Copies of this chain bind each other. A is one copy, B any other.
Amino acid sequence: MDEFDLIAEKFLPLTDGRHEAFGLKDDGALVPRSNGEDLVTSLDSLIEGVHFLAADPPETIGEKLLRVNLSDLAAMGARPEAYLLAVSLGQDRLKGSGYLPWMDGIVAGLRSAQLCFGLSLLGGDTTAGPGPTSFSVTIFGRVPKGRALRRDHADAGDDLYVSGSLGDGALGLAILQDRLSGLTPRDTATLVRAYRLPEPRLELGQALLGRDFSRAAMDLSDGLMGDVAHLARASGIKAEIFADQVPLSDPVRSVLTRQPEFADFPFGAGDDYELLFAAGPDKREKIADLSVELGVKVCRVGRLMAGQGVRLLDAGGREKAIQSASWRHF
């Protein structure tokens, strides 16, 4: 039983069928509001050695804490509002003399993200534990009532788009884990930065909702093919992804040319935090214009149709196999 089964089988009954829980299949949940807005909330934990590395600069850890949570808000088209933060400091971290400067760095990173994205801390919890240091963030955002972008609102006939480029964060992690080397200093810096400081696509998500270009979106955190499968399944339709249309940055393209063992990373390795969304074919020109307006690359990478499942197609329309479809914690 993997985590998705666990959620569906063990936790889903606990929602009592409340529609605000979105069947535990979306990036967040609503707390109903009455003044024309819904309050969106999401809770994510980040654990040392899993979601960030002990050697990462603490400023980037603090920023990442909020950025990955803000990515959930972006995926719902929400405007950020506030967050709660739980910190559990590991004994190793507490025993070391460097824990206070490290915590200062975390706080500086949080502050930086707060200024950049417009939200404030509201409360939380501080404890110590025997394991690695971990953080939990509950984030709050607002959307016009009943209009949150949802995984289950995609339609057959829609195009599928992704923002930015894919595989950068996963290759950055591979560099930090000494599984990838030999890149130029500039490419190394670009990929490591993508891992440490993912870009939440808030403006894009809000514009897609506000201009009614899309009703279905999610953020890519577990790998393109696995996440597309989630969206297609939630919407009850089938997805085809055009492998040669998946956007790659120059550093990623350079790595893939020299080291084919990383060829699947843009399709299944996770850590992208880009937006995946569906839109009708009549919106193609408007979405291209929006991409220019916001300065955010947006690529059409696939299409949705009646049926079920997900296929990755090469330039000739033949199905392409990849090794790892999706990141799983267990």
Contact = CB atoms under 8 A, between A and B. Distances in A.
Contact of A50 (B11, B82, B129): B129
A45 interface: yes
B127 A47 contact: yes
Interface in A259-285: none
Contacts of A21: 120-123
A329 interface: yes
Interface in A77-100: 81-82, 84-86, 88-90, 94, 100
A39 interface: yes
Chain A interface bracket (under 10, 10 to 19, 20 to 34, 35 or more): 35 or more
A33 B36 CA distance: 11
A301 interface: no
Contacts of A31: 31, 39, 81-82, 122, 140
Interface in A101-133: 103-104, 107, 110-111, 114, 120-132
A132 B134 contact: no
- Max count, chain B CB within 10 A of own CB: residue among A13, A44, A82, A89: A82
Task: Give the number of copies in the complex.
Answer: 2
A29 interface: yes
Given A18-B122, A132-B129, A140-B31, A10 B45 contact: no
A14 B107 contact: yes
Contacts of A11: 85, 107, 121, 124, 126
Contacts of A323: none
Given A85-B11, A86-B136, A125 B43 contact: yes
A128 B138 CA distance: 18
5 contacts: A10-B104, A13-B111, A31-B39, A89-B329, A129-B132
